[in-house]
Every structure is written in structure tokens, then in C-alpha cells.
Amino acid sequence: MSRQHLLRQLALPDRYERLVSLLGPEVVQVLVPPEQNTVDGFERIALAVQTRNEGLLVPAFGQSGIGKTTMLDNLTHFLPEHYSQTLNYQGDISFDSLEREANAYTQGYPPSETRVLPINVDHRENAPPTDRELADMKRFLRVTTCPVRPVIIWPDTSESNTRDIAARYTQVAGVSPVDLPLTIAGPQREAWIDIARNTLRLANEVDSLEQLGVDPSNYDPADYQAIGAFLRQLSTDFDNIRFQLQKETRKQISLVVIFPSESETPGILSQLTNSTRYGLIDPSALLGVTAKSSLGRWWEPRRGLLTRAVVQLDAHCLFLPPGISVGFLRRHGPQPVQDALGKAGIPNPTADRLARDLARADFGKFLTGGEMKAYEARGKPAKKSVEAFQTIAAQGFVQGKDKALNKGVAEALRTCLPKLSVNPSDIQVEKQLDFCRLIPDISLHYPDNVLCAEFHWRNGNFLSTSNRSATAQYILKKLRDYCRQLGWTAD
């Protein structure tokens, strides 16, 4: 198992169903009320049902992409005083099946529940009900044992179909207390751009993705008949750009900047990374703490390039706690470091112990595709790990000594990763990639991608607040180096 590149995860959903599958309950954050006439129509329906204590069949017309499913699935959001959660009905249209599904869905409803149960028949578009189905729906709506009064909503893109259904139902059930069919109109066009921008942000949990080249504000809602068509164009263009970014290099490249030091926690890295996608670099945060530096001034007019670099490189920054780096170097580090650690009383860990410790660390979870939240300190006591790291730091990190440490880490990864079911075809140290000019500290090669790991060895509790700007500048420098080496900028 290994992690999936960010570019393969990004999406701009153009249909409500896809958005729900990505966001779940968080979908309410992108919901915008439809036109007021639509809301008023559903409120009148609920009031009529509650007053008469009898259900109602509501044929509902709306053109394709107008937002019918969004509205009907979220009536309880738009009209919480009148509607409970929507039952999306997929079964046969018969009294028995409607009765069974409605009772199962409302099982556990409190006796005090008086709101209407909306039943959305969303699988019969352009397939009007038969006379028998109309009769069964009439019976269900009048005599159901369901603890709350139901409304069956029959959406269709054909206005003539919905008018015909309304007329036929009136013949068997009598005059409706409200005008039918109901016409569904989606949100006002003025809201479409914000809906698209929020959809892009929430679906991917990454800010500023519009800087990749698909900015909703550059699209005119007046050019599209419905919000669905508007989102579909944006989604198509977003997928095209994502595809182009994936194909710009012969192999997909990922970048992770690693900070080994005495720091036992991510410290300031939590202020420089995405709040939801753990460890993913936050471009705005980097620029926010380096505005007065030369690197910050260089990047400020190139915000679009910075966003592209983070996304195209799936760029993360993580810390390597001293317990992990000490274990790696005690077993696989340069001989002077191994000797110094041995003299300090640090035992030589087994390969299984190294693999276990790596699997628990952020870096290990990153490599295996596991969920990263926060490092859980385990193993050696913190004080002993910090003292052992000080022994390593005493050997120095300059004049090429950090390269020897990187070789030790690479050797440790060669030992540990197969035990974690991660099997790169090769692990190289300080070697130029065969398809570009990049020379990463360590590169892990897979059939269709390469992960580049850059290590910044520092002594002391480096990830403290006092080093926030220095840390951000180091990350920005690495990103600029990668952009230059990959030919994304000539500056």
C-alpha cells in the first residue's frame, strides 16, 4: 500500500449526488436556497398536509440541472419547521412497498414529530405512474400507518408529464388544496459563482484551487441555462487542467520536506499546513509569515505558481521526531554516529522495531497512505530521545555530514518499507532523476511516480515559534528550486 497523489484526488463535482458522496453531512455548507417561489410552494404544501392530516402527491417540474435533487433531498434544511429528512424512494410504486419503506424509515421518530415526511421518487423521470400506481399512492397517502404524514414528490424534466400526472391524480383523489404541478427553480444566478467556489474548496479541502486556472468568477452564469450546466463546464475545464498537470512530467512527482530535530511535536508546522489535509503545505500561510523576506517578496506576485507547485507536487512538510531519527541512525547511520550513540547507551534496534516505530510516525503514515492526524509519542522516553539526538547533532550537520545521515535514513527505509507493504522499485540518495534535473536528498521510485524527500537536519527544538519564518522560508526555497528545475519558471 502507498499513498495517492493529490492530483488524483482533486475533483469539482457537477452533480449533487457526487458532492454528497464526497462531503457527507458537510454538504449543507454549500447549500443555497432556491428561488423564493419554490420555497413558498413547498411551505404551502406542508401546511396543507398538516392542516388536513392527509398526505399529498406533488408532481414537480424542473429542467435538467436546475437543482431538483438538491432541493428535494434537503427540504428539512430549507424548511426545518415543516419537513423531516427526505426518504429517497427506489422501490415499486405499490401500497405495500410504500407502507413498508415509510415505516422503516421513520422507525424511532419521537411521538412529538409533526413535520411532513417527504418521499422523493427520483427514479421515474419520463416514466409517469400507471393508473394502478396512482390508486396505490392515493390509498397510501390517506390510510398509511406511518407515524407522520407523508408527501410523495414526483420530479420530472417534462412539464407536460407533470401536468398530466396532476390532472390524473385529481380525478382519483379530488381537487388538490394547492396548485399543482409545482415548478422547481434553483438558486439565483447571482449565487452560482460562490456556490462553485465553495464546492471547489470543500470537495478538495484545499484553498485557492481556482488559481490553477479554473476561477468561477471568470465564467458568466448568464451563458448557461441552469446551474448544473454551469458547474458541468467548470468541472470539465478543471479535469482538463488536472490532466495536463499530471502529464507535464514523464512521471508524477511528490515532494515531502522533512524536519529532523529535537522537536517532539510538529510545532509551527501546524501553522504552515492545511487544517484538514494534514501536512499539506498552505501557500497563504507561508507567505503570511515571510512577507518581508526576499523569498516572500519573490513569491508574492507568483501566488498562482505557488498554488500550482503545492498541488502538482502534492507538497507536504512533516517532522521526524528524535525517537525515529535516532533509531534509524543507530542501526544504519554513518559509523561515527553509530559509535557515538552506542557509547551513549542507545541500543541497536531490530528491523522489526524500526518498522513498527516508523509506522506510528507521520512520515511512515505518509509513505503508507495511512491517516495522519498527530504524532503519538511512543517508545523511548522523550528525554532520552532528545539527549540521543543531541549526540547526533554534536557530530555536525554541515560539510556533507547531513548527506551521510540521509544515506542512513535511506538504508533504514530499504529495511522498513517492505515490512509495511510498501515496495518502491528503487530508493536513491542524492541522485538526479532520469527525466528531469532534480537531485532530491532521497527519492523513492514507483512505476508511475517518484516521491522526493528533502531533509533539513537542525539542532535544538527547531520547530518552535521563534523559527516560524526560517522554517517557512526553507519550504519556499525548496518549492522555488523545484519550480526552476522542472522548468515551471525561468526567474
pLDDT of 2 reads 63
Query: Does 387 map to a domain?
Result: yes
Q: What is the pLDDT of residue 378?
A: 45
Assess whether pLDDT exceeds 90 at residue 406: yes
Handedness of CA 464, 470, 474, 480 (dihedral sign): positive
Last residue of a domain, which of 146, 161, 183? 183
Residue bearing the bigger pLDDT, 443 or 395: 443
Same domain, residue pair 40 and 16: no
1: in domain: no
Provide the edge-to-edge strand list for the sheet that holds 449-455. 316-320, 252-260, 449-455, 442-445, 426-429
Decide if 75 contacts 153 (C-beta within 8 A).
no
Q: What is the mean pLDDT of the chain?
A: 92
* Pair 144, 38 in one domain: yes
Residue 491 lies in a domain: no
Same domain, 382 and 435: yes
Answer whether residue 286 is part of any domain: yes
Same structural domain, 51 and 171: yes
Domain contains 65: yes
Same domain for 151 and 65 = yes
Sign of CA dihedral 225, 227, 228, 230: positive
Q: What percent of the chain has pLDDT over 70?
A: 97
Residue 481: which domain range?
Answer: 252-485
Do 64 and 119 sit in the same domain of this protein?
Answer: yes
**Confidence bin at 376 (pLDDT 50/70/90):** very low
- Do 226 and 257 belong together in one domain? no
What is residue 30's predicted lDDT score, i.e. its pLDDT?
A: 87
| DSSP-based helix, strand, coil % in the chain, nearest 5 | 50, 10, 35
Summarised one tens digit per residue, pLDDT across range 206-236 is 988 999 999 999 999 999 999 999 999 999 9
1 has pLDDT over 90: no
* 12 located within any domain: yes
CATH of the domain at 74: 3.40.50
For the chain, how many structural domains are there in total? 3
Whether 228 and 274 map to the same domain: the answer is no
Higher pLDDT, 451 or 385: 451
Whether the predicted pLDDT of 80 surpasses 70: yes
- b/e map 286-325, b = 16+ CB within 10 Å: bbebbeebebbeebeebeebbbbbbbbbbbbbbbbbbbbb
Predicted confidence band at 373 (pLDDT cuts at 50, 70, 90)? low
Asked if 176 and 56 touch (Cβ cutoff 8 Å), the reply is: yes
DSSP state of 399: T
- Are 126 and 109 in a shared domain? yes
Residue 490 lies in a domain: no
- Give the pLDDT mean for 356-376: 82
Tell me what pLDDT residue 137 has.
96
Per-residue pLDDT at 238 exceeds 80:
yes
For 92-115, what is the mean pLDDT?
94
Q: Among 194-203, 214-223, 362-371, whose mean pLDDT is lowest?
A: 362-371
Mean pLDDT of 409-425: 95
Indicate if 418 and 271 belong to the same structural domain: yes
> Would you tell me how many other CB atoms lie within 10 Å of the CB of residue 213?
17
Assess whether 179 and 206 both reside in one domain: no
Split at pLDDT 50, 70, 90, the class of 4 is confident
Q: What is the pLDDT of residues 29-71, one digit of tens each?
A: 889 999 999 999 999 999 999 999 999 999 999 999 999 999 9
Cα 274 → chain centroid: 11
160, 183, 206: which is the final residue of a domain? Answer: 183
Is 344 among the domain residues? yes
Q: Output 91 or 151, whichever has higher pLDDT.
A: 151
**Partner residues linked to 259 by β-bridges:** 319
In tens, the pLDDT along 422-471 reads 999 999 999 999 888 999 999 999 988 999 999 999 999 999 999 999 99
Shared domain check, 396 and 481 = yes
Structural domain ending residue among the three candidates 134, 166, 183: 183
**Does residue 194 have a pLDDT over 70?**
yes
| pLDDT score of 379 | 44
**pLDDT for position 25:** 84
